[in-house]
Amino acid sequence: MRRPTPGKSFGRAQRLRKALTPPEIRLWKRLKGRPKGVKFARQHPEGVYILDFYCLEAWLAVEVDGSTHRTPERVLHDERRDAWLAEQGIEVMRLAAAEVMANPDWAAEEAIARAQSRIADAQPSSPERSEGEVSRRDGGAAR
């Protein structure tokens, strides 16, 4: 089950939505509006963290990493954050900001394809699966 998101994370996420970086802006232009039926949110709060982009249906976070993510402190922070998100059932996909700037269409297609793959993997694979049975990503609770 997911940990509740603290109220201050919502306010911080709101502020970050108004201050996207240039690579985030380029990627968001391609991810908004449900491309290929996949819905993404930007600057989504999850626990104490803010995810650059998040597809709830796929439980996929897409992070755009600039040069600051290469420092030893930031690498350690990202590893801890990714581990916590993985415990929640969320996969983190990291894209270099330089790659997003150079080829935003490619970056968006990669994110959409990964989300579609995770959504397809979460679908019942056999008719024997009961309606109440759910995957790990559903947090173990029937909907």
> How far apart (Å, rounded) are the C-alpha atoms in residues 88 and 82?
10
Q: What confidence tier does 19 reach under pLDDT thresholds 50, 70, 90?
A: low
Read off the pTM. Answer: 0.74
**Rounded distance, CA 66 to CA 79, Å?**
15
CA distance 69 to 77: 9
Half-sphere exposure of 34 (CA within 13 A, CB side): 2
Query: What digits encode the pLDDT tens for the residues 37-61?
Result: 999 999 999 988 999 999 999 999 9
CB 85 within 8 A of CB 92: yes
Domains delineated in the chain: 19-120 (3.40.960.10)
Q: At what angle do helices 104-122 and 22-31 cross, to 10 degrees?
A: 50
